[in-house]
Structure 1
């Protein structure tokens, strides 16, 4: 075997092996074994089997067909396990819903019966021309469904970074890595990439994820807490109590002046979880974190525009916590209906 091929084989095979080890960890050894943990383990298992099949076949085209059938059958579960992992994590599912179990059982029955009736050994053309396109189509459908499920999280990660918490980044990363792996497999299937490229993509993504996890001080914030309150709406008394605490914090510490203030920073000040604070802002105040903070900044900016004639308009924006002139101007106009300059002119005339 050539040196380059040997390196590819080692790197890809080790990635599949490590994926199996991580899968076992989430199934049997994780301290907090939640539904989300189990589905992450199942996802890693499905990916590892699929990647392992690709690696073995790439370097040995005489591989027994049963291994090819196992690898392709595992591929049938990558999309579903990703979808249920994301759904269980985002909704803090504590036990496997009955309809989820039926859903997975139906999928297992379909691929198992298909393999028993038309095994790869005797019907390779059926698998390559019929089953494989169906498997990739099913995978794509679940990826789209997962994307719809993740739309709010992805929006926060890419467009509302101040509201994104480590858990959001973790979930978004897992989803996007799966999109990348699917694209690599699909491109290789169409002949646009070497067959081994998808396995290398998986290995690379796995090693990067492991490196990040090992270098974090804590990893508990990457998984849903059992204390999340998504399923329980706040009472009116609780909502009033939290609103009073927020208003007091804003008046006394004026934390909104910090241009780098994040959702988790404010939650820590209130001794709440970021999830609890985000839920309170959305359900009780009808605002997201950015809207809530910017409203306080604009109120303070209006006070300075009235009383501080020495500060420039840009300086006032910096003073109240905006880290860019354009953001200050656009936010001010959106809330007050006119620009800061026109607002100051109007105040002077009065």
Structure 2
């Protein structure tokens, strides 16, 4: 293959490979919470098998003739999987799984009967099998679009927000393969595979972007709904400072936000909001300031402890963390701070003489 063909093969095959992995994950690895996840995995897996085989056959035409038919056999289940994905996503608990099993059993039986014809009439199978598969795919794509139209009018909202992107992606891939197979668009055979790869990645980028915005909106609403009033915030801050001074919780190197929240009899979200909104500090910054101030007092009082021992005494679990935090808060190192304190004492004494 030339370099251009190698690049086309790479971009065509990478989508099929990732699609197979994703389909296997949805079908066999992920703990399914609902039926639509299963049908989505079946859609991705069957399309990926069809795409992967078509790419390999295009670039390596010496493969056995039965291999392309295996790809078409996988594609045979894509339409029904899309149809039941749309139905199960809208109907949810009302979806009857038994009817689906019967339908897939009939479809599998039909495919088995047609497949046995290859043993006796390979010429007829070569001529009509692809047309048969694409006809079934066309029927189920049309039924899926119709089901979406009907069910979306009945139900204003659905728990699955990804129905439309999945449906549109399948329609685009279906049209690409139909136009290429009929010769309406004069491009090479792997063009459909490139369309699949592009749609797969574009679709999932859009889905992940939606999930990010949804989680951000939920987080914002969660905090806005639990906004602490100014009066409560002042009392909480007063209680927090008394608690830190009396029990010296900051000296615990394993102190967590949840530990301090339980001492305050409030949720971790409320305490985090109190620190960020009312004190303008993160939890780690708030605790480390207490530790550094305690370290400065020990240094000023000429403690018998060494510099690194002071860090452990005030709650740091490593010397490097103590030094870096000290420099960040005091803009100097503990040793230079100690030297500056020792230099300032004689001047103070001489001024009093």
**TM class, shorter-chain normalised?**
0.5 to 0.7
SS at the partner of 2:25?
Answer: helix
CA distances 1:162-200 after superposition (whole Å, capped 9, x unpaired): x778944x2111111111111111111112232111111
Cα contact 2:26–2:41 (8 A) shared by 1: yes
* TM-score (ref. length: structure 1): 0.55
Cα distance, 1:113 vs. partner? 2.4
Structure 1 residues 263-282: aligned runs within 5 Å: none
- Cα separation, 2, equivalents of 1:178 and 1:200: 14
Cα contact 1:213–1:219 (8 A) shared by 2: no
Structure 1 residues 51-200: aligned runs within 5 Å: 51-93=51-93, 97-119=97-119, 125-151=123-149, 167-168=160-161, 170-191=162-183, 192=185, 193-200=187-194
Structure 1 residues 230-309: aligned runs within 5 Å: none
Change (3 A) 1:212 1:31: farther
- Cα separation, 2, equivalents of 1:86 and 1:155: 13
Question: Paired residue for 2:205?
Answer: 211
- Cα separation, 2, equivalents of 1:33 and 1:7: 39
- Cα separation, 2, equivalents of 1:12 and 1:176: 20
Change (3 A) 1:167 1:102: closer
- Cα separation, 1, equivalents of 2:16 and 2:141: 21
Cα distance, 1:93 vs. partner? 4.1
Question: Paired residue for 1:202?
Answer: 196
Change (3 A) 1:52 1:152: same
- Cα separation, 2, equivalents of 1:65 and 1:215: 42
- Cα separation, 2, equivalents of 1:9 and 1:142: 30
Cα distance, 1:62 vs. partner? 1.4
* TM-score (ref. length: structure 2): 0.55
Larger C-alpha radius of gyration, 1 or 2? Answer: 2
Cα contact 2:15–2:196 (8 A) shared by 1: yes
Which is worse superposed, 15-24 or 58-67? 58-67
Question: Paired residue for 1:259?
Answer: none
Cα distance, 1:155 vs. partner? 7.7
Cα distance, 1:70 vs. partner? 0.8
Q: Any stretches of 5+ residues in structure 2 without a counterpart?
A: 216-223, 226-353
Change (3 A) 1:89 1:148: same
> Size of the alignment, in residue pairs?
216
Q: Any stretches of 5+ residues in structure 1 without a counterpart?
A: 157-162, 222-268, 271-350
CA distances 1:187-239 after superposition (whole Å, capped 9, x unpaired): 11112232111111111111112333444555999xxxxxxxxxxxxxxxxxx
Question: Paired residue for 2:305?
Answer: none
Cα contact 1:11–1:203 (8 A) shared by 2: yes
Which is worse superposed, 89-98 or 108-117? 89-98
Cα distance, 1:141 vs. partner? 0.7
- Cα separation, 2, equivalents of 1:36 and 1:152: 18
Cα distance, 1:42 vs. partner? 0.8
Cα contact 2:79–2:136 (8 A) shared by 1: yes
Cα contact 2:87–2:95 (8 A) shared by 1: no
Cα contact 1:26–1:33 (8 A) shared by 2: no
RMSD between superposed Cα atoms in Å: 3.1
- Cα separation, 1, equivalents of 2:213 and 2:45: 21
